Structure 1
Amino acid sequence: MSLHYLVIFSLVLLAAASSDALVQDFCIADLSHPAGPAGYPCKKSSSVTENDFFFHGLAAAGNTKNIISAAVTPAFDGQFPGVNGLGLSIARLDLAPGGVIPLHTHPAGSEILVVIQGTITAGLISSFENKVYIKTLNKGDVMVFPQGLLHFQINSGKGTPAQAFVSFSSQNPGLQITDFALFQNDFPTELVAKTTFLDVAQIKKLKGVLGGTN
């Protein structure tokens, strides 16, 4: 292919890739309908108000009185209709002393975290050689977690709460917590043992703690 045709071909691809962004200014989520693979359908423009671009839900701390002593308050498309179709969202993270967000992944988006209060130890695991990267973060520190990689956050401060805000490169990044995926459902114990190399007694104990069956 000549350089001339290569340039034209590249410009066509670029135009095609960016055409969706030029169709309309925004697509406020119509929460009266279910979300599809591309997000929620758009509200009629005549019914859009300034409140669709506003979200107050991150002002208050989440309830950390739970098994992980932590809370995540999301502002995804289901809570904040204005981010629908924009490929971004935000959430608040509260960690009580000893709190932990267990190993988890976001299959649909990368994450960036900024610490607002306290000390958080965070880490991620690469898919190449399963290399682990761990960093202790203090107020004002920022860490990024690439899409789909296992990662975690722990309040590593000495008896003080920790708070952070996390932003995602998706209106709904998805979430799968490894412990819950293994032990909070009806995944048969013998198959969990076979696929994780854990002993049956430990698996049953974890299922009992997290509410799993079978």
Structure 2
Amino acid sequence: MNTLLVFLIFCLLAFVSQAIEFDFCVGDLSLPRGPQGYACKDPAKVTTNDFVYTGFRGEKIPNNVFGNNVTLAFSDAFPAFNGLGISMARLDFAVGGVIPLHSHRTSEVLILVKGSIIAGFIDTNNTAYYKRLEVGDVMIFPQAMLHFQINVGKTPAIAFVSLNGANPGIQLTPTSLFAGNLPADIVQKITLLSGKEVIRMKQLFGTA
């Protein structure tokens, strides 16, 4: 048998055996997170409650300059997601509220359960794909694409999203530019905004 073929078979067997070695790996948050996620909690200490997340319950009041309230159920908040390659979030919008341009390391699927929003993403050819969504509509945002949501209805809106990573990360474009330690003169150069506008935005985020 070809040596390369033998090697590939052993690699496949190793992968399969690793994939079925554990039924689950509830994250142990008391230990450091590594590149593959958290170490597994002792199975003898795992209970049904480890597989139930209650953080989406109740009313969520939009509480920031964007008019939104985002409740994340990533692996650090819901350790049962650890190792499963999935996570979730709840998005609450005030009237006129937005989730500004942002990106993740993963793809995302959104379902709207209340209100009406415009949702969209921009691809690397600078083509925008956007649409007004109504209750029950679903939209996909491909991996790493800049995307956004805007409440365009007359009532608050709620959506739930799922992402194909236990810790997908989130990078908001406005806060990356204006809420961090990037100097105003650099922000001005890389955005073509006026110095006055950059200072206004940094003051809005409390960094000027």
Q: TM-score range by the shorter chain?
A: over 0.9
Letter in 2 for 1:142: V
Shift in Å, 1:52: 0.6
* Residue in 2 that maps onto 1:45: 43
Aligned match of 1:178 in 166, 173, 176?
Answer: 173
TM-score by length of 2: 0.93
Letter in 1 for 2:145: L
Contact kept? 1:189, 1:200, Cα under 8 Å: yes
Structure 1 residue 153 corresponds to structure 2 residue 149: yes
Aligned match of 1:141 in 113, 134, 137?
Answer: 137
Whole-angstrom distance in 2 between the partners of 1:171 and 1:183: 28
Structure 1 residue 209 corresponds to structure 2 residue 207: no
Residues 51-76 of structure 1: CA deviation (Å, up to 9, x unaligned): 11111111223230321111111111
The secondary structure found in structure 2 opposite 1:91 is: strand
* Residue in 1 that maps onto 2:92: 94
Shift in Å, 1:46: 1.1
**Over aligned residue pairs, what C-alpha RMSD do you find?**
1.9
Shift in Å, 1:34: 2.5
Question: Size of the alignment, in residue pairs?
Answer: 208
Aligned match of 2:62 in 55, 61, 64?
Answer: 64
The secondary structure found in structure 2 opposite 1:23 is: coil
Q: Structure 1 residues 53 and 194 mapped into 2: Cα distance closer, same or farther (>3 Å)?
A: same
Task: Could you tell me which runs of 5 or more consecutive residues in structure 2 were left unpaired when the two chains were aligned.
Answer: none
Task: Could you tell me which runs of 5 or more consecutive residues in structure 1 were left unpaired when the two chains were aligned.
Answer: none
The secondary structure found in structure 2 opposite 1:136 is: strand
Shift in Å, 1:162: 0.5
Residues 16-52 of structure 1: CA deviation (Å, up to 9, x unaligned): 5444321211111111122222111111111111111
TM-score by length of 1: 0.90
Whole-angstrom distance in 2 between the partners of 1:161 and 1:76: 24
Letter in 1 for 2:28: D
